[in-house]
Structure 1
């Protein structure tokens, strides 16, 4: 066999590898045919090791140690393998060794290193790498510039991200998209919208970033409205956009819009992925259609922890504690490990259903079996669970144990839940004990209102008056109530005490009819 034929055979064998065992066989052939120092063959082996699902970052590392003079391409490949293997500290060490060895980084190196800095949550390291990029002139590269914007967005430093954006000699649609996404993360949807409106080209990514920014910042109606505008373009929504819109529907209680979105997904032929299925389950559950939520859950072939949590939370929300506990058992049988969110849903379900014993049993299981340390939310749920069952003394003892074994925020959350439960069940004496732990000048009005209402219900008008005077003296105002109602597909919000002009009611009615007409049209527009 000629040298050319042997080389060609080795490279073809490398391309056909499916497992690490296949790769080791191909690697052995590479060595026996004298290609052990061939940069291209070595890069293909390292590239396979970089694969998150099939490869092995540790194998890539061992192989790389035996390469005498690796090229920048080989350095980049091993950096990628370490990054995908979550070996972030080693990624940074190797980058430092690369520079020490005299190999200059290129526009593929820095994005890997900047991503490692983001995941390490080290803004200091990120700024050092940025400085190296400035000295080497690599920041003018579009790929590096976009990576810097993403990194500063992760650090919530949009001023630095904006400087990088302004200094980039060339921009792409990705540059605009990551700026929109970054401002969305720092809860500045107004600036995100400015960048969205100024973007010369709007592809699916930038539409999705803006819609996601609205939804993540609780601007649900704005997100739905932008989705409607998107229907007037040639851009077709993807899974991520549908998940954001389903979240908006869930929070607005817009079941009819959610059903339309579900139909749109079916018309596009999108597969029912774990993420999309979980979004549909959450939407139907929060909109009150538990049957459809369960039907989608049962139809899903794959379910992760988040999906199970959504279904258990749905049962908890609807007060079906027994079914929630049954789902938890099925989750364990399926081999899916519960997390802290799972137990919050379980405790809530037990609380709403009066299953105090089962809830305490699950708390013990969380500690003993899964070694999950309870957080403030867990203590709040357990205190509520015991209080609803009338076990106020037991709840107080639990809080006192929390005070000696946890931080101040967890203790405070537990006392909050206890105060609310005492007020709800008329336990004035115990409520006073809780109020002593919570009442401080900077507290919001909720605590004071709870105790004032309790005193009034118990006929202690004098004590109720004292609490209200205390609020007045401390300059604490009661937050007005807010309610919403959906008329012909349009959600209207009202603030307590707000006066609505009759003409505005008429305008809202007309708009609702227009929306209803658009909704029932035969096109794909909503």
Structure 2
């Protein structure tokens, strides 16, 4: 083997910066110090996320008298891998300054850099024009970069035009276009783009299912997953994560269990992402024991895993277990984040553990240096109220939340305070909280709670006044909605609606249950009367 071949082989086998410098020295002594391929390999290694050194790459680049287009492309890619997007764009400009012509590798790199910076849209359009001038607007690689750029900025008309200009769109082109429509919430256009693709791979199927789920079209996502099964397409991990998310939101436990079995049948290894999705699904479907089993069997966990499990215990009113798991998390050396404490505080609220929750607030601030944010205040207000510290809760709302957060978050805090005030008979404080909620959002909950507070305090005239105000302002009570799963089919019911195909039969059964309960109550009264007469 010649010294040149041995040198190039060593470059491909470098594991750290020390070995890179040794290989670089050998490159120079072997007469390859100006070889474009060897230099591009050196720069490419310098971009490695763990072992590379971008400053060293820049030193190498600065010593090259006439860098080739390949070397420029490698440097742009290095900047992209290190998330130094402005430097990547500057390198693209350097290519033009040096009189070189970008190719179908240069443009996708430059477009990706443009997509990642705030002012990148206009820069991206300039790059697009340059690609058209060089006759590369119809290239697959360039076209995919353009679709991604315009989709990232929500300019889907331009993205669609770029898709149509590609001479032969590939799977990636279609997937990126569907994803772009889904990002701006245009599910209809995403489905049209999906339907016009004749030969779909599992990535395209997964993209469309993901768009449905991300835009709260959970039933449609599960329906498309069934069609995917009929077509014999084997889903990938990303598709399973989307389907499990849909099951979690709809409460489809049986479908979720079937998906879990299917994953095992396919022999797909339980990654952290997939494990997190399973924990979330089982938790939201009320099967916390299954969620804990998945958690215990996971070979690796990240902060999202711990948060998902703690959050699952919280929503299933297992506050003590959530706090115990937090202790285990600390012992494992995993540092909690803001979401961890939000889940813990919610667990204490749901399980009526006010004192433990307030202690956790102290741990959050004093041990981990996490100051309560606006997302925590609602829970803290609830905890203070449950501890009969309504005055302190009111002060906290005025100090931390008044006009300092998004309306929906602030309104949630005021609603929690108002609910606590109503429970404690603090009508005047409840009035003030209700005024804040009404000012922030058009919701019937504040009116209903305030009306109930007046009624509980014996101020029925005020309660009727609140009801009249609701009618005058056109505020209607939001109808309740529930769902149930029977034989793998989800049935949804909205209060006041009678659109279900089996509504007549359901009403007959409900009437029979009502009559049975009335008979039971009558028999209890008779029995009580007889006992009293004995």
Normalising by the residue count of structure 1, what TM-score does the alignment of the two structures yield?
A: 0.89
TM-aligned CA deviation for residue 249 of structure 1: 1.0
CA distance in 2, matches of 1:446, 1:324: 30
CA gap 1:329/1:67 in 2 versus in 1, 3 angstroms: farther
CA distance in 2, matches of 1:363, 1:95: 50
CA distance in 2, matches of 1:128, 1:364: 53
CA distance in 2, matches of 1:108, 1:278: 36
CA distance in 2, matches of 1:128, 1:452: 60
Give the aligned partner of residue 262 of structure 1. 260
Give the aligned partner of residue 435 of structure 1. 434
Q: In the alignment, is residue 230 of structure 1 matched against residue 228 of structure 2? A: yes
CA distance in 2, matches of 1:215, 1:333: 36
Question: In the TM superposition, what whole-angstrom CA distance separates every residue of 1:168-203 from its partner, at most 9, and x where no partner exists?
Answer: 333222222212111111112121111111112110
3-state secondary structure, aligned to 1:120: coil
Give the aligned partner of residue 526 of structure 2. none
Give the aligned partner of residue 53 of structure 2. 56
Give the aligned partner of residue 446 of structure 2. 447
Give the aligned partner of residue 139 of structure 1. 137
3-state secondary structure, aligned to 2:336: coil
Q: Output the aligned Cα RMSD.
A: 2.4
| Mapped contact 1:415–1:438 kept (Cα < 8 A) | yes
Which residue of 7, 10, 15 corresponds with 2:7?
A: 10
3-state secondary structure, aligned to 1:479: coil
State the aligned residue count: 504
Give the aligned partner of residue 117 of structure 1. 114
CA distance in 2, matches of 1:6, 1:233: 55
CA gap 1:337/1:73 in 2 versus in 1, 3 angstroms: farther
CA distance in 2, matches of 1:129, 1:99: 11
CA distance in 1, matches of 2:416, 2:398: 14
3-state secondary structure, aligned to 1:36: coil
TM-aligned CA deviation for residue 424 of structure 1: 5.0
| Mapped contact 1:348–1:385 kept (Cα < 8 A) | no
Structural mapping, 1:306-455, within 5 Å: 306-368=304-366, 370-372=368-370, 374-403=372-401, 406-407=404-405, 409=407, 411-424=410-423, 426-440=425-439, 443-455=442-454
3-state secondary structure, aligned to 1:484: strand
CA distance in 2, matches of 1:62, 1:388: 63
3-state secondary structure, aligned to 1:494: strand
- Name the stretch that deviates more: 120-129 or 287-296: 120-129
Give the aligned partner of residue 99 of structure 2. 102
Give the aligned partner of residue 155 of structure 2. 157
Give the aligned partner of residue 88 of structure 1. 85
CA distance in 2, matches of 1:131, 1:45: 32
| Mapped contact 2:140–2:166 kept (Cα < 8 A) | yes
TM-aligned CA deviation for residue 491 of structure 1: 1.0
3-state secondary structure, aligned to 1:139: coil
**Structure 2 gap ranges (5+):** 507-534
| Mapped contact 2:482–2:492 kept (Cα < 8 A) | yes
**Structure 1 gap ranges (5+):** 508-526
3-state secondary structure, aligned to 2:210: helix
Question: In the TM superposition, what whole-angstrom CA distance separates every residue of 1:53-84 from its partner, at most 9, and x where no partner exists?
Answer: 44333433333232222111111111111111
Q: In the alignment, is residue 72 of structure 1 matched against residue 69 of structure 2? A: yes
| Mapped contact 2:137–2:165 kept (Cα < 8 A) | no
Asked which structure has the greater CA Rg, the reply is 2
CA gap 1:506/1:96 in 2 versus in 1, 3 angstroms: farther
- Name the stretch that deviates more: 485-494 or 48-57: 48-57
CA distance in 2, matches of 1:68, 1:388: 73
3-state secondary structure, aligned to 2:198: coil
Question: In the TM superposition, what whole-angstrom CA distance separates every residue of 1:316-366 from its partner, at most 9, and x where no partner exists?
Answer: 112222332333333334343333222211211122233334433433444
3-state secondary structure, aligned to 2:286: coil
CA gap 1:159/1:387 in 2 versus in 1, 3 angstroms: farther
Give the aligned partner of residue 519 of structure 2. none
Give the aligned partner of residue 489 of structure 1. 488
